Structure 1
Amino acid sequence: MLFIFLKLVSTNEIIFFFFLTLKFSLINSLEILKSWSELERRGDTFFVKKTNEPFTGILKNFYPNGQISLIDNFKNGKQHGEYVSYHPNGKILLKGNFENGRQHGVWTEYHMDGSLYWNLKYINGVTEDGVFRMYYPDGTVESEVTYGNGKPITNWVYFDKNGEKERVKIYENGTFIYEKYLE
């Protein structure tokens, strides 16, 4: 009967069904851990405790009440793929991607109410050049700094909720020197 079914559908449908089946079988075969305590880090590689095999699979961490707190993907012992952590209320806290253990692409953090806190683009673990801003829940700017070559190239300025400068972190050649509070 399967042979007759295959004759009735197009080649594209057979290939799609094959890949769909393969994808779900690979997902189902991935190891799923439920706590960071099941992993140990050796150098820059993660292993399931008491093994010598780099971990490939999914880490799902939970709050004491059973609410999901984190979903992280690993490949050959490195964080690889989507990373999502959650506030205790179930809303997304932080979302981004890893490639071979390095942050890659846009990372976004949210306040507990779901409003944007910040977003920043990484290329192979290095922040992309440009202005980085953090926001209060109402959308006003909380702080801002400009990055170049993965380091701050301006002083990091913090604002109060009224938009007035509150303090400044002084940087020289990308290195933090001191923090100055303004009156």
Structure 2
Amino acid sequence: MKTKVFSLLVLGLLLACNQPKQGPDMIVEGYEVYPIEGTSIQRVAKKHDTGKVIETGYLENGKKHGLWLTFNERDGRITTMTSYINGLKDGPFLKFNNREQIDLKANYEQDQLHGPYWEYQYGRILKEANYKHGKLDGLYKEYYNSGKILKEIEFTDGVQNGYYRYYDENGNVTVEYEYKDGEKVSGGIKK
């Protein structure tokens, strides 16, 4: 996954950097448009009032396509990296904090979360889940700042189905419920 994301980032940056230094052919809804000769693809850039680029990516047939990057207005650091196919989010999505660390790592398929999903804070994992066509599917986990598990919830097609477990900071289960098709069927506080 890291190699795929890194490869997409490098490819996007190489394509952006290899464009001739010329002015835009037109402006579309706040974006400067730079056609890529010999293709139906256009590189576009949106700039802040200060002139700094705050968003850049590619259009194919008028729709977002390929790698899109957004940047912080103040310092120009990357804030998000999103993959598109035919105007829909499709592929890896990364969100970065002001320290250039990943805050969110997810995957999209046809504009819906699909596949592994992680949230981080200063490099520590906070949440971990799996999505299937926009719905939670599989084991959802949240973590304490120490990195130990806080809770686990099982989902099937967006509905709680299986165990819900809450842990103390020593790793002991303190609350456990069992769900079937979104309805609690058993469980309670552990002693």
Alignment TM-score, normalising by the size of structure 1 = 0.57
The alpha-carbon distance between structure 1 residues 77 and 142, as it changes in their structure 2 partners (threshold 3 A), is same
1:12-23 equivalences in 2 (<5 Å): none
Q: Specify the code of the residue in structure 2 equivalent to 1:66.
A: G
The alpha-carbon distance between structure 1 residues 56 and 164, as it changes in their structure 2 partners (threshold 3 A), is same
From 93, 109, 113, the equivalent of 1:99 is 109
Contact 1:134 1:141 in 2 (8 A): yes
Q: Which has the higher contact order (CA 8 A, sep 6+)?
A: 1
From 145, 152, 159, the equivalent of 1:151 is 159
Alignment TM-score, normalising by the size of structure 2 = 0.55
From 106, 128, 136, the equivalent of 1:119 is 128
Shift of 1:71: 0.9
Instruction: Determine if the alignment matches structure 1 residue 31 to structure 2 residue 43.
Output: yes
**How many Å separate the matches in 2 of 1:89 and 1:160?**
30
Contact 2:132 2:157 in 1 (8 A): no
Shift of 1:61: 1.7
Point out where structure 2 has 5 or more consecutive residues left out of the alignment. Answer: 1-10, 17-35, 37-41, 48-53, 184-191
Shift of 1:109: 1.5
Shift of 1:78: 0.4
- Structure with greater Cα Rg: 1
Contact 1:108 1:118 in 2 (8 A): yes
Point out where structure 1 has 5 or more consecutive residues left out of the alignment. Answer: 1-22, 40-47, 176-183
* Number of residue pairs aligned between Structure 1 and Structure 2: 141
**How many Å separate the matches in 1 of 2:140 and 2:96?**
22
Give the share of equivalent positions with the same residue, in percent.
24
Contact 1:128 1:150 in 2 (8 A): yes
The alpha-carbon distance between structure 1 residues 159 and 33, as it changes in their structure 2 partners (threshold 3 A), is farther
User: Which structure has more strand as a fraction of its residues?
Assistant: 2
1:67-82 equivalences in 2 (<5 Å): 67-82=77-92
The alpha-carbon distance between structure 1 residues 60 and 31, as it changes in their structure 2 partners (threshold 3 A), is same
Shift of 1:31: 2.9
Instruction: Determine if the alignment matches structure 1 residue 136 to structure 2 residue 155.
Output: no
